[in-house]
Amino acid sequence: MSSHSKRSLRRSGYQVLVMPDDGRPARRWAVSPALLRWGVALLAANIALIACLFLVAGVRGARLAQRTQELHLLQQEHAALLAAAAERQEQLQRLAAEAEELALRLAELERMSDEIWRLLGYEGSPTLSAGEEDLGRGGPDDGFEEDVAAATLATVRLVASGLPARFQELEELRASVLARNHRIAHTPSIWPVEGRVTSEYGMRQHPITGRVQLHAGIDVAAPVGTPVYATADGTVVFAGEHGGYGLTVIIDHGYGIQTLYAHNSRLLVKEGDEVVRGQPIAEVGSTGLSTGPHVHYEVHVNGEPVNPRAYLPGRTSR
């Protein structure tokens, strides 16, 4: 092709020939050089735009992936915090339950201690001194540490672990005090009647029979009708006529001890009655072999009469 033909083609433009496969006639289009240049420029611009869009999408995708990873990490941290909070809550609930149990045990311990002191004759148990009662209190700067719940729970358990032994000691002490007080209450210790002693325990000549024999008790003179008192707690094992003793009351106090009250004018108890120290059980009289109104009082230990003076205060009064 000559240079002239080429210049003519560039001036006249380009032709596009389209030949269909179905046998239809070919079609021809004329394309000017300017239109072709614009088309190429537009295609290049579209390709550049698409490339920029892909670049921007890639950057945003990378950022989205990073944000997604960060969100996942935050979710994991949040779940760990929730688990730690739940564990702490459970720990605090256990602490509260054990602290409540400890408080109840301590209150029971305090009641038991007060009871023991009352049994011993005191109004209440000794209190802590000013320095002792302040032990364990924190100052204004005290605060909860990271493991305060676990540490407090361990302390509560440590204190609670020592309570059973302390309770056992107090139970044994209470049982001992109760046994002591029971024995004291069942041991004769007061005069059976207010009056004047007319005959002591020991060998003497009987004022009626004239025979020398053991006077197995002590005689206390008092007007007829004067109350006669049980000298200790016990159970009435006899109440009625008893030969030369007249109207008689015999009380069993346990521990091998019995007391006898004779020559009464009237009995106020019957066999099987439970009596307490200082309770009226009869009235003074002169029944049986008696020279006048009085109470013949005997104390028997393991079946043998002993001197009642060993169980009497210094004067004839309740």
- Whether 27 shows a pLDDT value over 90: the answer reads no
Nearest to 318 by CA among 190, 151, 127, 141: 190
What is the CB neighbour count within 10 angstroms for residue 229?
21
Question: 240-273: per-residue pLDDT in tens?
Answer: 999 999 999 999 999 999 999 999 999 999 999 9
The answer for residues whose C-beta is within 8 angstroms of residue 113's C-beta and 6 or more apart is 125, 170
DSSP 271-316: TT-EE-TT-EEEEEB--SS-SSSEEEEEEEETTEEE-GGGGS-SSS
**Domain spans, the chain:** 3-78, 196-311
Q: Which amino acid does the sequence have at 186?
A: H
Do 202 and 215 meet the contact criterion of CB atoms below 8 Å apart?
Answer: yes
For 120, the token pair is 């011993």
Percent pLDDT > 70 in the chain is 78
What is the spatial distance between Cα 298 and Cα 279, in angstroms, rounded to a whole number? 17
Task: Write down the mean pLDDT value for the chain.
Answer: 79
0.75 surpassed by pTM: no
DSSP alpha helices (H): ranges in 186-292? none
How do residues 132-179 score in pLDDT, each as one tens digit? 444 344 444 444 445 556 666 666 666 667 777 777 877 888 888 888
Dihedrals phi, psi of 258, to nearest 5 degrees? -130, 150
Residues making up the chain, counted from first to last:
318
Q: Using 50, 70 and 90 to split pLDDT, how confident is the model at 230?
A: very high
Pick the CATH number of 196-311 from 3.40.228.10, 3.40.50.1980, 2.70.70.10, 3.30.420.140: 2.70.70.10
User: Which runs of consecutive H residues, i.e. helices, occur in the chain?
Assistant: 3-12, 33-119, 130-133, 148-185
